[in-house]
């Protein structure tokens, strides 16, 4: 450094810190972000491949889902972590299109590198990208198509598009039916859907075809006493958040018992207290009891004698879903039990699923909570199925909320690319270069779809472009046929929000990474080397103590 004091350079940063500036910092960050995008790029589309991720404990995850891959990868580089955030946001907002968002962000940065080499200033590129992203949102809204809330055929196609290319494809007809049915059941009148009300239970065993929807709830528990009925028809359900056992005294109290008949009286009284609780439950007319807390052994015996089907220690989240499904109220005190608090279900039954007992609460009148039981040959299959179903019900609920969809298969990206080029010409100046780069970057989606399907990307892009130039806005790439096809006829459709969110978050991440021109990394605290720096024995070690 130039600043010297008696021949001694002044160090501003702590020893061991690293600093990368200017173009070096930009190219380092861009390289890291591009590496993340290329890691997931091969999973895009119906012909995308899967990744096998092995963690430190040796657990294996096999998946095609962009956000799962990025979450499982142990990413260290700060710019690469930003790309993971893009995928997470996309997953939270829409539930699908995570790979698309990351791939677009990576390509935007790649295109910006060419501009940086032409000495276009990063802020000019950032401004152009922002303008292009805004314009893209407007164009997307323009090409979006309205959907009616009861159009189950279209909703099923949207679920199918989200599932294609995942391990669930083998039984996608059946699974899409389940998903659309489930979303329609839990949807509120105003079209909003709380996907938390769809419960997915995974069970290894059987095949994908054995997956089914339960119009009500599925609870991974068993009844507490073997002599209780296994099946209860026309069930009146009590949801109790209180223990069915005798109350212990709140204060520290001792009871001195001096003779055997006193002990017997004490035990009889305990039993009478529990019997009175059970009598209250039976008197309310309940024949099924779901208890969030414990049920005493004596209580179990009395409940079984009264023919009540009971289970204990049910999870709070399950209790809330049961309340939605059956219309019961959660009762938190024994004294508050009454007929008005009960819910109804046509059938409550304990069945064996893959060798384990589970309780099915079915035939609810208007279930606002449903369960999907997912079956498959191995644990990995079931896990990937769950992720596919998760994506599918997320997109169906997004479409129900927004009531807008766009064609898939790279059609919106090609249309955006063409329209943004026209827009760029009208803007002029240096920003035009950035907007054109944005337009080119969007073509990465159809290009990747073609590459992953083993088709010639250039031929496919030319074919798609010429179709769009003729005004065919809905033409996309059919990777099975290997040609440009009208995506609406092919039934490849996606929610509008998948695209708007992917482009918005990709542009924001790319701009953020572009604007960084200085990376200052502190040194990692590590044990000081023996003898300390500069061989100053004990002094060096003392200096190192500050690191701890």
Per-residue tokens: 326 = 């059956």
Determine which one of 43, 50, 65, 318 is catalytic.
Answer: 65
Question: Is 395:159 a contact under the CB 8 Å cutoff?
Answer: yes
Structure tokens at 46: 């119906």
**Do 433 and 128 touch, CB atoms closer than 8 A?**
yes
* HEC secondary structure over 144-164: CEECCCCCHHHHHHHHHHHHC
* Residues paired with residue 360 on neighbouring β-strands, in sequence order: 218, 349
Residue with tokens 């955030």: 85
65 is catalytic: yes
| Active-site residue, 99 included | yes
Closest CA to 410 of 451, 382, 357: 451
Three-state secondary structure call for residue 548: coil
| Total Cβ atoms within 10 A of residue 258 | 7
Catalytic residue of the set 43, 68, 89, 98:
98
Q: Considering 68, 99, 311, 326, which one is annotated as catalytic?
A: 99
Pair 461, 410: CB distance under 8 Å: no
CA 430 vs. chain centroid, Å, equals 39
Residue with token string 């296994």: 230
Gap between the Cα atoms of 234 and 221, Å rounded: 20
DSSP-derived pairing of the beta strands 475-478 and 483-486: antiparallel
Kindly give, in sequence order, each residue whose CB lies less than 8 Å from that of residue 445, ignoring residues fewer than 6 positions away. 44, 100, 103, 104, 410, 413
Out of 50, 383, 391, 478, pick the active-site residue: 391
Beta bridge partner(s), residue 371: 199, 214
Residues belonging to the active site: 65, 98-99, 391
């Amino acid at each position: 450094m130039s600043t010297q004091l008696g021949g001694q350079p002044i160090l501003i940063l702590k020893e061991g810190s690293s600093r990368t500036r200017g173009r070096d910092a930009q190219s380092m960050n861009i390289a890291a972000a591009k590496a993340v995008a290329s890691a997931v790029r091969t999973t895009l589309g119906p012909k995308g491949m899967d990744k096998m991720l092995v963690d430190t404990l040796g657990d294996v995850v096999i998946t095609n889902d962009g956000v799962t891959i990025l979450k499982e990868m142990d990413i260290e580089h700060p710019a690469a972590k930003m790309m993971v955030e893009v995928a997470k946001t996309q997953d939270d907002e829409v539930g699908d299109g995570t790979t698309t968002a990351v791939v677009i962000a990576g390509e935007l940065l790649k295109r910006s590198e060419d501009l940086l080499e032409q000495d276009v200033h990063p802020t000019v590129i950032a401004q152009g990208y922002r303008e292009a992203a805004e314009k893209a949102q407007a164009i997307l809204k323009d090409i979006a198509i309205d959907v009616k809330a009861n159009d189950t055929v279209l909703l099923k196609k949207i679920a199918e598009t989200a599932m294609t290319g995942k391990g669930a494809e083998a039984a996608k007809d059946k699974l899409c039916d389940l998903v659309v049915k489930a979303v329609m059941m839990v949807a509120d009148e105003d079209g909003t859907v709380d996907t938390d009300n769809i419960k997915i239970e995974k069970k290894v065993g059987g095949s994908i075809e054995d997956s089914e929807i339960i119009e009500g709830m599925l609870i991974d528990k068993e009844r507490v006493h073997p002599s209780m009925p296994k099946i209860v028809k026309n069930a009146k359900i009590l949801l109790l958040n209180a223990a069915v056992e005798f109350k212990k005294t709140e204060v520290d109290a001792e009871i001195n018992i001096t003779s055997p008949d006193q002990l017997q009286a004490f035990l009889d009284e305990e039993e009478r207290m529990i019997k009175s609780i059970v009598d209250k439950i039976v008197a309310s007319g309940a024949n099924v009891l779901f208890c969030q807390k414990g049920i005493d052994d004596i209580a179990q015996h009395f409940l079984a004698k009264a023919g009540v089907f009971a289970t204990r220690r049910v999870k709070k989240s399950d209790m809330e879903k049961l309340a939605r499904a059956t219309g019961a109220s959660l009762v938190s005190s024994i004294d508050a039990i009454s007929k008005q608090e009960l819910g109804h279900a046509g059938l409550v039954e304990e069945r064996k699923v893959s060798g384990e007992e589970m309780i099915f609460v079915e035939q609810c009148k208007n279930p606002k909570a449903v369960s999907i039981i997912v079956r498959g040959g191995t644990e990995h299959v079931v896990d990937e199925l769950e992720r596919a179903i998760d994506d599918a019900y997320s997109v169906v609920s997004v479409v129900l909320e927004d009531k807008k969809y766009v064609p898939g298969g790279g059609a919106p990206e090609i249309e955006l690319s063409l329209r943004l080029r026209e827009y760029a010409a009208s803007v002029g100046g240096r920003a035009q270069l950035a907007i054109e780069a944005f337009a080119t970057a969007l073509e990465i989606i159809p290009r990747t779809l073609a590459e992953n399907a083993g088709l010639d990307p250039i031929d496919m892009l030319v074919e798609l472009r010429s179709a769009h130039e003729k005004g065919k806005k809905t033409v996309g790439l059919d990777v099975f046929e290997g040609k440009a096809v009208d995506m609406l006829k092919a039934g490849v459709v996606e929610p509008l929000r998948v695209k708007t969110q992917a482009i918005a978050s990709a542009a924001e991440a790319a701009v953020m990474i572009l604007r960084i021109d200085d990376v200052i990394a502190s040194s990692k605290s590590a044990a000081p080397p023996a003898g300390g720096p500069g061989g100053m024995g004990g002094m060096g070690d003392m200096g190192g103590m500050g690191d701890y």
